[in-house]
Amino acid sequence: MFPFIFEWVWDEGHIMFFGAMWYVILILASGLGYCLIKAVKDTLAGGHGPQDHH
Amino acid sequence: MKKETEHKPGKKYGMVIDLDKCTGCGSCMAACMAENNVPCKDDESNKLSSITWIRVYRLTNRKPFPETEICYLPRPCMHCGGVGDQGHSPCVSVCPATATDYDHGTGIVSQIYTRCFGCRYCMAACPYHARYFNWWDPVWPGDLKKTLSPNVSPRMRGVVEKCSFCFHRYQLAMEKAYVEGRRDLEEGEYQTACTQACPSGAITFGDLDNPDHAVAKMKEHPNAFRLLERLQTNPKVYYISSREWVRRAGDNYLKNEPTNSKPRAAAHHG
Amino acid sequence: MKIDRRSFLALGLGAAAGTAFTPLPWKLTDDASIWTQNWRWLPLPEDGDVTYETTACTLCPGGCGIRVRKVKDRIVKIEGLPEHPVNQGGICALGISGTQILYGGSRVTSPMRRSGDRGKNEWTRITWDEALAEVKAQINALVDADKADTIACITGSDRGTVPLLFKRLLAVLGSPNFMTTATMEDSYRAVFRKMHGLKGPVDVRFDFENTGFVLSFGSGLIEGWGSPLRMIRAANVWKANKTPMIQVEQRLSNTAAFSGGLLAVNPGTEADLALGLCHAIISGNLHQAGSVSGFAEFANLLKQKYSVDTVATKTGLKATAIVDLARKFANPASRSVAVCGRGKGTTAGSMREFMAVHALNILAGRVNAPGGVFAVPAPDDIAWAGDTVMTSAISGKTRIDEAGTGAYTLADSLLNRIPSGIVEKGESSIGLLFVSEANPVYTLSGTKNVRKAFKKIPYIVSFATCLDDTTAYADLILPNHSYLERYQDVPVRAGLSKPLVNLTKPVSAPVYDTQNVGDTVISIAKSLEGSVAEAFPWENYEDCLAKTLGGRWETLKEKGFVEGEANPVALGNVILPSEMPDIPAISGDGNLPLILLPKDSMRLWGDAVADPPFALKIVPDTELKGTETVVEVSPKTAVAQGLEDGKEAVLTTTLKSVTVKVAVSDGIMDGVVAIPRGLGRSSAEKYLDDKGVNVCELMEPQEDKVSGFDAVIGTRASLKRA
Amino acid sequence: MSTSNHEADSLAPGEAPDRKQGAPGGVIVLFFIVGFALSMAFGWLVFPKLLYSEKNQPFDFNHKIHMDLVDSGCESCHVFREDGTYAGVPTLAQCADCHQDVQGESKDEEVFVNEYVANEKEVPWLIYSRQPDCVFFSHAAHVKMAEMECKECHGDIGESESLKVYRENRITGYSQDIWGENIAGIRKNTWDGMKMTDCGKCHEERMGSKGPCFQCHK
Amino acid sequence: MDYDFIPKGHNRCSFGTFAAGMVILGVIVLWGFYAAALCWIKGLNQTNMNDSYGFALWIWADLAVIAIGGGAFFTGLLRYVIGLDELKNIINFAVIVGFCCYCSAMLILAIDIGQPLRGWFIFWHANVHSMLTEVAFCLSLYLCVLAIEYLPLILENGKIDEVPFFHNLSHTMHGAMAVFAATGAFLSCFHQGSLGGVTGVLFGRPFGYREGIFVWPWTFFLYTWSAAACGPCFTMLTCKITETITGKRLVKDNVYDLLAKISGWMIGTYIVAKIADTVYWATVTSPSMGFGLMDYYSLHPLHHGIWILILEIVVCGVVPALILISQKGRATKPLFNLAIVLAVLGVCLNRWVMVMTPMAMPVMTFDSWVTYFPSWQEIATTILPFAGGIMVVALSYRYLPVFPQEKELNSKR
């Protein structure tokens, strides 16, 4: 899972597999981070109201 | 796509079992259990959860009495090398936690109990039923604990185990060799417990690639065959039988197919 | 400063973030995983110096040499001894399991006195001094009442110093009642006495290594007949040499399967087949000339009653096949031998069969011929001062089993006659019984009667190593060391071609508070003082061994075995029978539709020693499933009796009805039910305790009119769906 | 904290706009920092102390003195058995060759002779480098074949004048030396740890691969 | 009692009735957890699994719930990536059902391994060549995605929504949902496929082995395709059941129709591929290993024979495909219902056969078939997630605005 783990080898298999995995984690984490930060910002800006969407 | 780490030309330990000599006595099974700290449950008559690294099967020619014939077939782990002995054995590639691997130096498939977390995928992969799951905690009541050998670690409940070709014996033989300043073993120095115990001498063990070893010659016998060769598992256990029906029972054939004593993928290894 | 829950939340968050930057979570995760890999209830085998020591196995009569692997002082494994003539490095599953007898749960761990009812196995631990005092008191009481001749002893063998010490103790007390369990070798001895007029101790030996044609009448040659390891090696020599092996049997036993030459005859007609072959040989004029008396009468008998055609009908074989077989067998170039003794040969069997098979060997000239069967003098190398005096002192006295007298001159001991005798009389003819290395309650047929009889014996002293069916009836146990903890000379009979004496050695320190039975006997004798004590002049058993074995003692200690040479006994005039005894080999109620035959499995031991866990584990589920014995029937029989593979059924004989499971197999004759021997033990290791049924419970004993042994080889039975 | 008590805690987030008068941001940051610092201190300083229990050897042993007396270094006492296996810590019999009677060198020697030699009792040494039961380690392969020095894995124990405290991991039951003294797992010397990764690293450097599993596992 | 939490303007049953239902389900869940605890504490000897049925009821349940939970990813894909806007009316529900299914799968996996405390080795010491490793990674990541997709819906609960931060978070997450959904679809494609690969790569097991394209065996694609095809059917089925239980209409017919049409075509194309696969397997792959088609079915201990294959392909494959593809079939309520039930059954049956048979089927000629029946512990732990799932769905339905069309559809009445 990490390069410092015993089984890790720098071969295509590991690079492809974990590359994809870390990429996905990155997307999810940054997406979630973006949402959180934006929500904090909006909240501090005072934006609120159930009526502003749906 | 598995990257082959560069490996030195290693040994290829294997077995040749002469089924004409096997009496079905079961010594190999008992010797294996005693050597490898295999536990016994109160009831071992349910063979679907009874751990016997080497198991003697009873084959019949399915003819009515008295034409019936019986052949006993001991089945250890086949230590499959996969096509071209690349180490692509059915079980090794599927283990999600790298708890089993193929040693290119000896051709032996390992099983690391402390790494295994018991998903049983390797058992699903092995067509020989050579892998066993520890459904129960192993128990050695009272003084029976004294029979435990320190060379093999007892397995905990919830992991898979299987025949290791008594790898610890290889290790011990190598230690002796090292102390004597050798890096190589003589043929007899490393033998499995079942080979040693067999009253008939039906089991021969050695380096299949070493022309000086008996197994190297025996595996070329015209009556030699392996189990399920058509699956291209490339097992390291050979059998010899003078009976055609036994050789045919070693693999699956369509109704009118002839019995092949040589594998389809023979070209891949040699 | 205002503090609210948000501040605490911040504190918590800070702590969480901080923790992530310490080794704590990561180290704990790692350590937790290591904990799962070594959880505390998993035993850790202790390491230490590894040593190998050689000794001998005594778990069966086979006489294999073994070497034990020790780690420090623990015996972790038993392996075959490569340099031993019998097994040459091989070893059987029982032998391997010996460690589980040494350390097993059925060991008697100290002297014990019975505290519950007989058969209940409830015990109180006592000291050796108390135990020996009790034996002394029992003996003295009988001596004082002038009933010393009712002291009896049952041992597994009559060879070697230990059985002879017992025999000597009894003799010096004035009792001739030294008994052993009968095996096929006793029947062979009876045959030599009957058909060669031999007297005294004589042994049978088989020159299997040089045989060119093997005809076996139901002998489980590789199942464990005689010396199993030797037989397996011999059978492999036959296979390599393409030596024909014909197995006369009703099912594909391992021997039959291995031989590839099964000759299926109707059950109980083996003797008829042998006589039919004799007839074919005589009528084909193929017999070997020799000094034979009664030849004409025998030939006439055959012609009248056992002509090839009659036999063909009776056995279910083709006449031509019989003639053909006879021709091959009698061909001098064949170097053939015919053998009998059912299964593992642990039972005596019917004299009719032994005589018929022996007659066949005689006619083919295979007695005392290379590759054939030999009569040799039993070794008399254990000679103690005063032996002859003692023998003559008891010679006038009648044995309880009447062996050697009247109608029973062919047998040395007839243990099988004891239970019926006691039950019929209603009182015990035995006043005090010693049992050592034998398990008569388990091995004698008609278990119910045996139990009844043993209950009547006033006092039983057992010298057992492990609890078993017989110790359950004992009043006192003076536990013997296991064979891995003691010295003992073990002369091997088992039909070996050469006489052999093994020595077991104390390769392990005593694990429990036990004592070598040799020492126990000597100390009992010494405690009795007077002439009895004088007859046992040795300091202890080891001293006795050293003095008795003389020059061989050092060799035995060093090498573990001594092989000798034995010259065949001159057979003199051969007496062929003019009439064959008419004892049905199959007992029981003729109205029952099936014939129940015990089968001796390669992985189940039916004798005094019970399957240890390893051996039991490899017993196939076609012999034992759960706690039930599995019986084998043919598909046709299953259909006829409405049985289904794997399902329960009720097996009934005249003696008992038991629930068993059914295994339908292609490898068995129609109308026959095969039942594995060796199950149904009580008070053994918990692994085997109360699993399955003891064959002897179902088999009605049948006294052989010629020898007096139990002749039963099968019994009628019914098998119905449960 | 000023809200009414009967409002369920789970509804706390509901306390929105009108209660802006909570703790100011600075306090919150301060609390965060305090929490962070406390847990760092706990994790780095207290936790290692809690994780390991301290055990003393039965008595002290001076390797240095013995090294000066013997001819062939460590192997004089830590011997290989005839079959090539490694015997590890010397048995009582080996020590008793010299220490049959008290030689009066030290208190510890007195303890040894009186309690162990006299009673023929093996010394229950706590072994710093004891590997788990599932591990096979061939001393022969390393010392005899690869001619490695004992020090490479065991450190300077041969030079030590007294035995250090044996620290046992409370969870795994193993000596601290397997993981290494440094709780973070940072290794400065080759002997600073005996975990699988340490073996693997050295094997990879010198053998070209970490080797098959069975090389070390049994 | 819980009026404040119920979405504004929706009618819900009384709290008493609801609580009674929850208690009943809760008891079942507790029973399941008791069984699970037994397995964790005493080990897998609590099951009736054995060395021939090492993959048994649990693994089947695992694969089946993942397959029928495939509605979440596929509907998400259609809604957010392809942009079929109508589906927004069912996507919430699809996500909840999917979330339940994947939680169940993880729970079952956690019970099913022999050493649960070491379960994380599959991530830490991953063997990247193992299909199971891929399953584990994709499965857990996809469960995260589902949680992320589920979260804004929870935040929409009237009470929670009052908090500005949560309101805003929910809002922004809605905005970013396409990214999450796309990632989820990618993950799901892979792990549905790798579940298929689990049996497909077993070259020692002729019943399961399928030869490959690139590194993947065919089952990889078949599984993804079948999950995408039949998953929405399960979403629709559960939706219909919810409608029946609540006695309300929750989703408009045109939404059903659209999803059913897509499903129908997916099933149709899948079944063509499945038939092609079966034919190639029966005539080329298997014979090369010495097996004729009937060798697999003739000696099966459950005596279902070849019928199970016909049931799976024709009855539960071709039939629902035809119904759902045809306009008329979709319009006829009973036929429509039958079709979605059959489709769900079909994919479950496929997983059943592919899980149980490859390992249990004797490959050595002298080996034999054995039978297996699950223990109560296995059954209880398998029922547990279903009961738990119903609880989650019921809770969500009661307190969250799951169905955007609910108000509209029910005010008409």
Contact criterion met (CB below 8 Å) for C702 and C339: no
Cα separation, C268 vs C378, in Å, equals: 31
D145 part of contact set with chain C, CB < 8 Å: no
- Beta carbons of B114 and D217 less than 8 Å apart: yes
Crossing angle of helices E131-155 and E164-200, in 10° steps, is: 160
Strand-pair partners of C631: C662
Q: What is E319-348 written as a DSSP string?
A: HHHHHHHSHHHHHSHHHHHHHHHHHHHHHH
Say which DSSP state B188 is in: G
C385 part of contact set with chain D, CB < 8 Å: no
Mind telling me how many Å the CA of B201 is from chain E's nearest CA?
A: 24
- Beta carbons of D196 and A4 less than 8 Å apart: no
Contact criterion met (CB below 8 Å) for B40 and C612: no
Chains with at least 3 CB pairs less than 8 angstroms from chain B: A, C, D, E
CATH class of the structural domain E3-411:
mainly alpha
Rounded to the nearest integer, the mean pLDDT of chain A is 82
Crossing angle of helices E376-399 and E218-246, in 10° steps, is: 60
In terms of Cα–Cα distance, which of C597, C578, C710 is closest to C190? Answer: C710
Contacts of E167 in chain A (CB under 8 A): 48-50
Would you say how long chain B is, in residues?
270
Angle at C622 between CA C616 and CA C625, to 5 degrees: 60
E328 part of contact set with chain A, CB < 8 Å: no
pLDDT higher than threshold 60 for residue D158: yes
Contacts of C52 in chain D (CB under 8 A): none
Q: Say which residues have a Cβ less than 8 Å from residue C186's Cβ, sequence separation at least 6.
A: C180, C348, C411, C412, C707, C709
Contact criterion met (CB below 8 Å) for B207 and B216: yes
B9-19: pLDDT as tens digits: 689 999 999 99
Domain boundaries, chain E: 3-411
Tokens of E189: 């494609």
Q: Are C and A close enough to touch, i.e. 3+ CB pairs under 8 angstroms? A: no
Q: Say which residues have a Cβ less than 8 Å from residue E24's Cβ, sequence separation at least 6.
A: none
Domain boundaries, chain C: 5-37, 112-184+406-489+506-555, 185-377, 586-721
Contact criterion met (CB below 8 Å) for C613 and C97: yes
D10-55: pLDDT as tens digits: 334 444 444 444 556 677 788 889 999 999 999 999 999 999 999 9
Tokens of C39: 């959880």
Q: Beta B224-225 vs B237-240: how paired, if at all? A: antiparallel
User: pLDDT: is A1 or C333 the higher one?
Assistant: C333
Lowest mean pLDDT among C425-434, D95-104, D175-184: D95-104
pLDDT higher than threshold 70 for residue D61: yes
**Which residue has tokens 């052993």?**
C180
Instruction: Name the helix (H) or strand (E) containing C664.
Output: strand C657-664
Contact criterion met (CB below 8 Å) for E197 and E227: no
Cα separation, E56 vs E108, in Å, equals: 12
Would you say how long chain C is, in residues?
722
Angle at D175 between CA D172 and CA D178, to 5 degrees: 95
Tokens of C241: 């040499």
E64-122: pLDDT as tens digits: 999 999 999 999 999 988 889 889 999 999 999 999 999 999 999 999 999 998 899 99
In terms of Cα–Cα distance, which of E124, E107, E86 is closest to E404? Answer: E86
Contacts of C23 in chain D (CB under 8 A): 43-44, 47-48, 183-185
Contact criterion met (CB below 8 Å) for C617 and C684: no
pLDDT higher than threshold 60 for residue E412: no
- Beta carbons of A34 and E186 less than 8 Å apart: no
Tell me, what CATH number does B104's domain have?
3.30.70.20
- Beta carbons of E167 and A28 less than 8 Å apart: no
Which class for E9: exposed (0-12), middle (13-18), buried (19 or more C-beta within 10 A)? exposed
Nearest residue in chain E measured CA to CA from B258? E290
Q: What is the mean pLDDT of residues D71-90?
A: 90
- Beta carbons of C97 and B63 less than 8 Å apart: no
Cα separation, E318 vs E314, in Å, equals: 5
Output the pLDDT for position D8: 37
Contacts of B148 in chain D (CB under 8 A): none
C31 part of contact set with chain D, CB < 8 Å: yes
CB atoms within 10 A of CB D35: 23
pLDDT higher than threshold 90 for residue E162: no
Contacts of D43 in chain C (CB under 8 A): 18-19, 21-24
Contacts of B1 in chain A (CB under 8 A): 12-13
Distances (CA, A) of C99 to B145, C74, C104, C111: 10, 10, 8, 22
D97-154: pLDDT as tens digits: 888 888 877 888 889 998 999 998 999 999 999 998 899 999 999 999 999 999 999 9
Cα separation, C150 vs C361, in Å, equals: 41
Give me the torsion for CA of E404, E410, E411, E413, rounded to 10°.
160
Tokens of B255: 């109704």
Whether the ipTM is more than 0.85: the answer is yes
Output the pLDDT for position B9: 64
CB atoms within 10 A of CB C421: 17
Q: Evaluate the CA torsion angle C402, C404, C406, C408 in order and state its sign.
A: positive
In terms of Cα–Cα distance, which of E134, E262, E133 is closest to E189? Answer: E134
Tokens of E25: 């389900």
What letter represents residue C475's amino acid? D
Contact criterion met (CB below 8 Å) for C367 and C373: yes
Output the pLDDT for position B261: 42
- Beta carbons of E121 and C36 less than 8 Å apart: no
Q: What is the mean pLDDT of residues C59-68?
A: 95
- From the CA atom positions of chain A, what is the Rg in Å? 19
D5 part of contact set with chain B, CB < 8 Å: no
Contacts of D39 in chain C (CB under 8 A): 14-19, 22
In terms of Cα–Cα distance, which of C295, C325, C291 is closest to C308? Answer: C325
The CATH number assigned to the domain with range C586-721 reads: 2.40.40.20
CB atoms within 10 A of CB B190: 24
Q: Topology of C112-184+406-489+506-555 in CATH?
A: Rossmann fold (3.40.50)
Cα separation, E12 vs E7, in Å, equals: 9
Output the pLDDT for position D25: 65
Q: What is the mean pLDDT of residues C464-490?
A: 96
Is residue B5 domain-resident?
A: no
What letter represents residue B260's amino acid? N
Cα separation, C395 vs C151, in Å, equals: 15
D40 part of contact set with chain C, CB < 8 Å: yes
E24-39: pLDDT as tens digits: 999 999 999 999 999 9
Tell me if C112-184+406-489+506-555 shares its fold with C185-377: no
Strand-pair partners of C433: C152, C460
What letter represents residue D18's amino acid? D
Contact criterion met (CB below 8 Å) for C667 and C253: no
CATH classification of C185-377 is 3.40.228.10, yes or no?
yes
C296 part of contact set with chain D, CB < 8 Å: no
Q: What is the mean pLDDT of residues C625-631?
A: 96
- Beta carbons of B2 and A13 less than 8 Å apart: yes
Q: What is E162-207 written as a DSSP string?
A: TSHHHHHHHHHHHHHHHHHHHHHHHHHHHHHHHHHHHHHT-TT-TT
C494-525: pLDDT as tens digits: 889 899 999 999 999 999 999 999 999 999 99
Tokens of E247: 């006695």
Q: Evaluate the CA torsion angle D19, D21, D26, D29 in order and state its sign.
A: negative
Is residue B1 domain-resident?
A: no
Contact criterion met (CB below 8 Å) for C557 and C503: yes
Strand-pair partners of C504: C488
- Beta carbons of B2 and A7 less than 8 Å apart: no
Residue ranges making up the domain that contains B24:
13-268
Strand-pair partners of B176: none
In terms of Cα–Cα distance, which of B73, B32, B29, B55 is closest to B167? Answer: B32
Enumerate residues 1 to 60 of chain D having a beta carbon within 8 A of any beta carbon in chain E.
11, 13-14, 16-17
pLDDT higher than threshold 50 for residue E152: yes
Enumerate residues 80 to 99 of chain B having a beta carbon within 8 A of any beta carbon in chain A.
98
Helix ranges (H only) for C260-379 are 270-283, 295-305, 308-315, 319-330, 351-363
- The pLDDT confidence band at residue C86, using thresholds 50, 70 and 90, is very high
In terms of Cα–Cα distance, which of B116, A29, A7, A30 is closest to E141? Answer: A29
> What contacts 24+ positions apart, CB below 8 Å, involve B86-90?
B86/B2, B86/B4, B87/B2, B87/B4, B88/B2, B89/B233, B89/B234, B90/B122, B90/B125, B90/B126, B90/B127, B90/B231, B90/B233, B90/E202, B90/E203, B90/E204, B90/E205
Mind telling me how many Å the CA of A6 is from chain E's nearest CA?
A: 8
Of B122-136, C287-301, D86-100, give the range with the top mean pLDDT.
Answer: B122-136
In terms of Cα–Cα distance, which of E337, E376, E364, E167 is closest to E256? Answer: E337
C109-162: pLDDT as tens digits: 999 999 999 988 889 999 999 999 999 999 999 999 999 999 999 999 999 999
Q: What is the mean pLDDT of residues E238-253?
A: 92
Backbone phi, then psi, for C349, in 5-degree steps?
A: 80, 180
Contact criterion met (CB below 8 Å) for C490 and C382: no
Output the pLDDT for position E160: 84
Contacts of D200 in chain A (CB under 8 A): 6
Nearest residue in chain A measured CA to CA from E144? A28
- Beta carbons of D200 and A6 less than 8 Å apart: yes
Contacts of C230 in chain B (CB under 8 A): none
Rounded to the nearest integer, the mean pLDDT of chain C is 93
- From the CA atom positions of chain E, what is the Rg in Å? 22
Domain boundaries, chain D: 23-53, 125-215
Q: Say which residues have a Cβ less than 8 Å from residue C619's Cβ, sequence separation at least 6.
A: B45, C601, C603, C604, C611, C676
C654-664: buried (b, 16+ CB within 10 Å) or exposed (e) per residue?
ebbebebbbbb
> What is the domain count for chain B?
1
